[in-house]
Structure 1
Amino acid sequence: MENKKKFYYGWVVVFACFLINFVNTGLLVYTFSLFVLPVSTALAKSPTQIVLAASLFTAAFAIISPMIGKQLEKGRIKQLLIAGAILNGGGFMLLSKVNTLSMFYICYTIVGVGAAIVGPAVHSTLPAYWFEKKRGLAVGIANVGAGAGSIIAPMVITATMTSYDWRMGFFVLGAISAVILCALVFIIKTKPSEIGLYPDGLTKEEFDAQPAAERPVLEGLTRPQAFKTSAFWMICISFLFIGVAQLGVLQNQAAFLIGIQFDMSVAARALAYIGSMSILSKFIFGWLADKFHYKLVFLFGNILLVSGIIMLANVTSESNFVYMAVYAILFGLGIGSWYPIAGVIVGKTFGVKFYAAIYGFIFSIRAIGDIFGAPSISAIAGTRGYSFGFLCAAACACVSVVLIMLIQTPKAYTDLIKK
C-alpha cells in the first residue's frame, strides 16, 4: 500500500512534455501568422513569399524527425533539449535581426530543425516509456501543451508587437523557448529504469509479482523490423491522409467562411471553439484509448471529425450560430482525438523498446500530409469550390480509418512478447 501512495515521477515527465509541446507548437506554429504582414512590409516582399518560410520549417521538421529517435533511445534527452534550445532560441533571435528574404528563410529553417529535435519523437515517446495502463491519457496531457500555447502565445506576442515591433516579438519567442527548454534539462528523465522503476511506477518486486499477461511490455520491434511489416506502412499512409484532412480543412475554413460573407469575427470564433474542443478532446480520447481498443477509439474520433467537416461543407451565409457552433465543436473534438490515439496505435503495434525511432519516422510521413493538405484543398476549391474540397478532405479521413481498421499486430511482435 505504501508504494501505491508514492507520487510517480512519470507525471513530472508528462509535465515536461507538456511544456515542450507548449514551446514546439504553441510558440513556433500558432504565432507565425502574426508576423506575415509586418515582415512582408519590412522586407518589401509579398505575404506569399513570407509564408513560404512555414513550408521550409515543416520540410526541415519532416527530414530531421526520423533521426531523433535513436538519440532518445541512447538516453540523450538532455543533449536534445540543449540543442533544441540553441536552435529554437537562437533561430528566433536571429529572425529579429534579418533584413533579407533569404536570411528569413535560413533562420526559419534553423528553427524547424530545432523543433524536430524536441518534436514528437521526444514529447510523444517519453510518456509511452513511463506509462502503459495510462499511456493514452499521459500522451494526451502532454499534447494539451500545444493547445495551451495556442491560447497564450498569440496574446503575448501580440502585446509585445503592439508595444514594440515584430523584431522584439521574435526575440521574445527565442528567449521563452530557450529558457523553458534549458530549465527542463534539470528535471527530465528518459525511462523509469533510471530511477529503479518499471512503467506505471512498478518496483521490481511488484513487476515480478504480476502475472506475465498483466506486466507492462518492455520489448518491441526495431525500426528495420517494423519497415518489413505491412502494418507500419498502413499506419504511415493512414496518418498522411489524416494530416491532409485535418490541416486541409483547418487552414482553409476561415477563407471559406469569409468568402461567403461571414464576418471575420465569426471565423475567429469558430477557430476558438475548435482550439478549445481540441484541448478537451486530448483528455477525453487519451482516457478512452486506455479503456477501449484503439481501433474503436480511432473510429469514434474520426466520425466526429468527418461529421464536422461535412457540416462545414454545407455551411451557407444563412447558417445560424448553433449550426456553426456544432460544426466547430465536432471538428475540434475530432482533430484533437488523433494525438493520444496515435501514440497508443504505435505502442500496441510495435512495442515501446524502439518506439522513438519508429514514431519519429511515422510522424515525418504525417508531416507530408500536413505540408500538402492546405494547398491541395485550396487548389481543389479553386476549381470546384470549398464545399467539394472539404468533402475530399472528409474522404481522406475515411481512407485513414479504413487503413487503421485493417492493420494487424505483426507476427514478429507477437512472437517476441510471447518469449
Structure 2
Amino acid sequence: MSNRLKFRKYLVLAACFLIMAVSFSIINNITSLFIDPVTKHLRLSISSFSFVFTIGAITTALMSPIIGQLISKVPLKAIMSLGAILAGGGFFCYSLATQIWMFYVIAVIVGIGTSCLTVIPISTAITHWFEDKKGMALGIAMAGAGTGSFIWMQIVSRMLTDLSYQETYAILGLIILVVCLPLTLFVMKMPPDTTIEAKKKEKISYKDIHWSMQLILFALGLFLLGVNISGTKMHIQPYLTHLGHPLTFNANVGSTQAIFALLGNLIGGYVFDKLNLRNSIIIFVSMSLLSYICLIYGAFAPLLFVFAALFGLCLCLPSMLPSYGTSALFGKEHYAMHLGFINMIFTFGGALGPMISGFIADHLNYTLVWVTYFALTVLYSIFLLISLRSKKPQT
C-alpha cells in the first residue's frame, strides 16, 4: 500500500472515531438523560417514552439489510452524508415535539439516519481498509462511542440543569450536523480495490448469504445480547434516580462507564486480535455477569461504580462482536450484506430491551430487571459459544 493510501486509511479511521464520538454516542448513549425531564414535563410513563428508543432501534434494524446492499451500489459518502443530515436534523426536531406521537415519528427519521451513518458503513470501511489488525482498528473506531459518552454525559447533564431539554435537543442536533456532515462528504470512502465501480457490476442479493446453523445461532446470540445491552444502558440513569441519587452522582456513574467503555474497546480490539472469539466472549461475558450482581445490590453506592467499570469494559461485545464476528466467521465476501442481516437481528434485540426494562420497572421493580438480564446473559453466551463450535471459523 502506497504512503498516500496509508495516510487515507488512517484519515478514514480518525473520521470513523469522530462520527461515533459525536453522532452515535449522542443518539444512543446519553439520551437516557432525557427520560426524566421529558416524562415529567409531558407527564408520560417511563415505558411510553422508552418506546421512542424501541422505534428508533426497529427502524435501524429494518434499514440494516438495505444499507448492507446499498453499500455495494452507492458511493459510501453519499449514504453517510444522507445519514448525517437525517440523524442531526432529526435529533434537532426532538426539540419541537410536544406529544409522544411526534417523538415516535422523529425516532424513525433518526433511526434511518443512524443506519446510514454509523455501524454498518463504518464497519464495512474499516474491514476493507485494514486487512490486518482489523480488531484493533475496529476497537479504535468504536472507542469513539465511549469517548463521546464520557464527554457528553458530563456536558449534557449540565446542559439539562441550566437549559430546557428542548434547547439541549436542538444544540446537540446541530452539533451532529456540523461535525459529521463534512467528514462524510470529504473523508469517508472505500479503498480502491472495493470501489463502487468494481462492485456495482455484480448482481448480488441476500440469496448469496451463506445460510447455516452457525449464522442462525450467532444471530440469535446477538439478538439476546442486544436486548441486554440496550435494556440496561437506557435504564441505568432512571434506576439511579429511583435509588434517590442526585443528577451529578448519576452523571459520574455514567462517565465512569463511558471511560471503561473506551478502554474496553481498545482492550477488546487487542483481545479479539490475539485470542480466538470463544475465549474473548468468555472473558467479557464473565465481566457482564459480575456487573449485574453489582446492580442487584445497587443500594450500596460504591457497587454502582464497580458495575460501571465492569459493564463499560464488556461494552466492546455489542460494539465489536457483530462486525468482527461477521468477518471472522463468514469472510469478506458479501461482508456488508452478512453484516446487514446480522445487525438487523442484533438491533431488533436492542429495540426490545428498553421496552422490556420499562415494563418490568413500571409493573414490578428494577431488581427483577437486572435478575432477568443476568439470566439472559448466560443464555446468549451459550448460543454464541455453540455457534463457534458448529463450523470452523473463516478468516
Per the normalisation by structure 1, the TM-score is 0.79
One-letter code of the match for 2:332?
V
Aligned AA (1:103): M
Amino acid aligned to 1:126: A
Alpha-carbon shift at residue 170 of structure 1 (Å) = 3.0
Q: Does 1:354 align with 2:353?
A: no
Distance of 2:104 and 2:358 partners within structure 1: 23
Largest Rg, 1 or 2 = 1
Identify the range of structure 1 (178-187 vs 401-410) with the bigger mean alpha-carbon deviation.
Answer: 401-410
Deviation at 1:172, TM superposition (A): 2.3
Q: Conserved in 2, the CA contact under 8 Å of 1:298 and 1:338? A: no
Where do 5+ consecutive residues of structure 2 fail to align? 196-203
Q: Give the conservation status (yes or no) of the 8 Å contact 1:121–1:357.
A: no
TM superposition shift of 1:350 = 1.0
Residue of structure 1 equivalent to 2:217: 234
| Counterpart Cα distance in 1 of 2:337 and 2:284 | 26
* Corresponding residue number in structure 2 for 1:392: 372
C-alpha distance in 2 between matches for 1:84 and 1:354: 22
Counterparts of 1:31-42 in structure 2 under 5 Å? Answer: 31-36=30-35, 39=38
For residue 259 of structure 2, what is the aligned residue in structure 1? 276
* Cα 1:320–1:182 shift into 2, 3 Å: closer
Please name the residue that 1:364 is paired with.
344
1:250 and 2:233 equivalent? yes
Alignment match, 2:200:
none
Indicate the residue corresponding to 2:186 in structure 1.
186
- Where does residue 172 of structure 1 map in the other structure? 171
Task: Report the equivalent of 2:135.
Answer: 136
Q: TM-score, normalised by structure 2?
A: 0.84
Task: Say whether 1:336 aligns with 2:335.
Answer: no
Letter in 2 for 1:368: F
Change (3 A) 1:47 1:297: same
Give secondary structure in 2 for the equivalent of 1:348: helix
* Aligned residues: CA RMSD: 3.3
In 1: Cα distance, 2:362 partner to 2:99 partner: 32
Return the match for 1:286 from 262, 269, 294: 269
Mapped pair 1:375 → 2:355: yes
Counterparts of 1:401 and 1:248, CA distance in 2: 17
Q: CA deviation at 1:16?
A: 1.6
> Residues 41-120 of structure 1 correspond to what in structure 2 (within 5 A)?
44-46=42-44, 48=46, 49-120=48-119
Secondary structure at the counterpart of residue 407 of structure 1: helix
The residue number in structure 2 matching 1:127 is 126
Go from structure 1 to structure 2 and tell me whether the alpha carbon gap of 1:173 and 1:312 turns closer, same or farther (over 3 Å shift).
closer
Deviates more, 1:256-265 or 1:243-252: 256-265
> Following TM superposition, by how much is the alpha carbon of 1:30 offset from its aligned partner in structure 2, in angstroms?
3.5
1:394 is displaced (CA, Å) by 1.9
- Deviation of 1:282 (Å): 0.3
1:327 pairs with one of 288, 292, 307:
307
Range 351-360 or range 331-340, more displaced: 331-340
- SS in structure 2 opposite 1:29? helix
Match of residue 214 from structure 1: none
Aligned-pair identity (%) = 24
Distance 1:15 1:245, change over 3 A: same
Residues matched between the structures, number? 385
Residue type matched to 2:108 in 1?
Answer: T
